[in-house]
Amino acid sequence: MKPLAILGAALCLAAGIPTAAAAAAGESRAEFQAERAQCDKQSTEDPAACRREAGAAMQASRHGELDDHGANFEQNRLARCAYLKGDDRQDCERRMRGEGTESGSVEEGGIYRELRSTVPADEGSSTGRSDRR
C-alpha cells in the first residue's frame, strides 16, 4: 500500500510540473508586456532600444538566464562600504541596513541616505572642537 501512495504522490507532482511551467511562462509574458508599456512612457531612453532590451530579457528569462540563483543582496549592499575605514565604514553599513533616513530614488538620480549620530564633545574644549591642529 505504501508504494502506491508514493507512486500517486509522484504522479501528482509530475502532473503539476507543466502547470508550474505554464504559469511561469505566463508571468514572464506579463512582465514583458509591462516592460514594453513602460518603454513608451520613458523620455530618457530610445523606445525602440528599450523594447529590444525587454525582448532580450524575456528570451533570457525563458532560458533561465535571469534567475538570481539566491543572490546575496545584503552582501552587495554592504560592499558599497568596503572602501571606508573604521567608524565611517560602520556608519555606512548601518545606513545600508536601513538605519537613518532615506530620500530620492534611482529615477531621480540617486538615493540619499542619512544617519545622524551624537558624538560627545572633547573634554578639553567648551565648543566641542579640539584646540589641536
Condensed to tens digits (0 to 9), the pLDDT of residues 70-116 reads 567 788 888 999 999 999 999 999 999 999 999 999 888 898 999 99
d(CA 13, CA 15): 5
The reported pTM is 0.41
Residue position matching grid coordinates 531621480: 108
Task: Indicate if the pLDDT at residue 36 is higher than 50.
Answer: yes
Number of domains in the chain: 2
- Please report whether residue 68 resides in a domain: no
Secondary structure of residue 101 in the 3-state scheme: strand
pLDDT of residue 101: 94
All 3 cell numbers of residue 97?
541596513
- Please report whether residue 77 resides in a domain: no
pLDDT of residue 125: 63
| Alpha carbon separation from 132 to 101, 121, 129 (Å, rounded) | 33, 14, 9
d(CA 43, CA 71): 31
- Please report whether residue 107 resides in a domain: yes
Q: With cut-offs at 50, 70 and 90, classify the pLDDT of residue 13.
A: very low
